[in-house]
Amino acid sequence: MRALFLSVLLLPFAAFAGTDVPSDELFGEASVRLEDAADGLVERIGAWLKEDKARTVRVAVHADERLGTMDNTYLAAQRAKALAKALKRAGARKAQVVTDAVGHSGVARTDATHRVAFTFSGGPPPSL
């Protein structure tokens, strides 16, 4: 019983399992511009953050190597910046959004190297 009480007490502060979204659902090929299809996802996360200023989201953007395009780490960083800006326009506070950029070099494209990972804390995550 004591462990259950402690779990419930700490629940609002726990990080919840993340949600991965393929990069091409949010961005065009080698682009930092958010696709129109990303608007709904951004609005849902922004509204979730706006409900409670204690909530946060970590956005980790993974970009894989593209021949003839910008550096993958730079691409990931610019995409992370674009997502953070969009989330702020959707109602998030600056302190609620933490971004990470991960560039993958010399590896074949996989789901792990071509994704955006969202990790939510401060309450049950929004449905994406």
CATH no. for residue 106?
3.30.1330.60
Q: Domain for residue 128, yes or no?
A: no
Q: Domain for residue 126, yes or no?
A: no
The pLDDT confidence band at residue 65, using thresholds 50, 70 and 90, is low
The SS3 assignment for 78 reads: helix
Give 55's DSSP letter: -
pLDDT score, position 57? 96
Spatial CB neighbours of 55, under 8 Å, sequence gap ≥ 6: 48, 49, 96, 120, 121, 122, 123
Q: Domain for residue 71, yes or no?
A: yes
Q: Domain for residue 60, yes or no?
A: yes
Q: Domain for residue 33, yes or no?
A: yes
Q: Domain for residue 87, yes or no?
A: yes
Range of the domain at 12: 2-121
pLDDT in tens, 8-36: 333 333 445 578 898 888 998 888 999 99
φ, ψ dihedrals at 34, nearest 5°? -70, 135
Is residue 66 within 8 Å of residue 22, measured between CB atoms?
no
Q: Domain for residue 18, yes or no?
A: yes
What is the edge-to-edge ordering of all strands in the sheet holding 115-121? 19-22, 115-121, 56-64, 97-104
Q: Domain for residue 127, yes or no?
A: no
User: How many domains, the chain?
Assistant: 1
